[in-house]
Structures are given as structure tokens and as C-alpha cells.
Amino acid sequence: MEDFKIEALLECRLCADQFAATQNAHQPRPVFQGNPRAQILIAGQAPGARVHRSGVPFSDPSGDRLRAWMGLAPDQFYDPERIAILPMAFCFPGYSAQGADLPPPKICAATWRAQMLARYPKLKLQLLVGGYAQKWHLNTKASLGQVMAQWRRDLAILPLPHPSWRNNAWLKKNLWFEADLLPELQRRVKELMR
């Protein structure tokens, strides 16, 4: 790990041909944040189109919802000394010809994830946002519902549904998420942000 330089990730071109062939025909742009002193990890899926353009993690409506879930103002959320944001794929994967989000390329996590996580030895809370992050971090094939049902198993690793509007139906069916999990999430975040 000592040989790893963050510049190598910032200059990564592994998916350049793949991204150029998407509906967006875009180039790689890794988006993440963090300082080795961070105690909270947000393990997301992959940047969306807005985040790709801005270069700022969760600078979209999903980010607004995630910050509300965590009980944080933007300046707190974007404090790299406290919060590391490492998506499963560091670049926007693009859209399919039908306009659907493409999945995070697996090569990204295989190439960069362990090296990046090793840079954050002080993590005390990991928020696994969405199925891709949950499957990788928990080494599971369980569905979102199955993973979420066991959220109390380890309060240092909290699974969250992706904060996208696409999960509104799931959130409406699972009222316990707002009633039980969010207060615990906010308590843990507040404790670590002191």
C-alpha cells in the first residue's frame, strides 16, 4: 500500500473506451473525497451525471436526501477530515441506449477499492449506500430488503437504500426505516462529528 499514490486513481483511464461507447460518450472523471483522519465512510454506488459534471460527490437530489438522513448541513457533509466518500466505481458509468443507468464497472472496485480503504484507518462508521456497496462490503448476495432487515447486526456498518427517487416506493413500504434506522443513523453521525 505504501507505493499507492492518489494521483494514479485521478489519472485512471481503465474504463475510457467503455465510457466513450455509452449514450453519454464521456471520459473518466473520478469523484471522491476524504482525508485519512475521516471517521465516517459513505460507500456509494457511482457518481451520476450531475456529479460527473460538478466533480462534487452527491451534489444532486440524492445527496440532498442523504444529508437529510444523516442530519448534516452541506459544510459538515463535505468536510473531508470527517467524512470519506468512496463510491464502488469512482466515475460516472453513463447511460445505456435506453437511457438507464449503467452499473458501476466491477474493474473499478477490483483495482482501487482495497487500496483506497487502506487510506482510512480511523473509520468508525461505514454507511453502505445501495446494493452494490452492500454486496461488496458485506460479501453477500442478499437483496436490499434482506440486508436492510438485518441493519441492527452491526451499528458500525449501516446499510442504507440508495437515496434516489427510484426507492420512494421501498421507503413508503418500509416505514421502520424512517422511524427506527434514521434516528440511530443520526445519533451515530452526531456522535462522530463532535
Question: What pLDDT, on a 0 to 100 scale, did the predictor assign at position 99?
Answer: 87
The span from the CA of 69 to the CA of 163, in Å, is: 9
SS3 string, 10-37, reads: HCCCCCHHHHHCCCCCCCCCCCCECCCC
User: What's the confidence (pLDDT) of residue 100?
Assistant: 87
Per-residue pLDDT of the chain (194 residues; tens, 9 = 90+): 456 789 999 999 999 999 999 989 999 999 999 999 999 999 999 999 999 999 999 999 999 999 999 999 999 999 999 999 999 999 999 998 888 889 999 999 999 999 999 999 999 999 999 999 999 999 999 999 999 999 999 989 999 999 999 999 999 999 999 999 999 999 999 999 99
Q: Which residues pair with 128 in a beta bridge?
A: 43, 159
Q: How many Å is the maximal CA-CA distance in the chain?
A: 47
Q: Which domains does the chain have, with CATH numbers?
A: 6-193 (3.40.470.10)
User: What's residue 25's pLDDT?
Assistant: 93
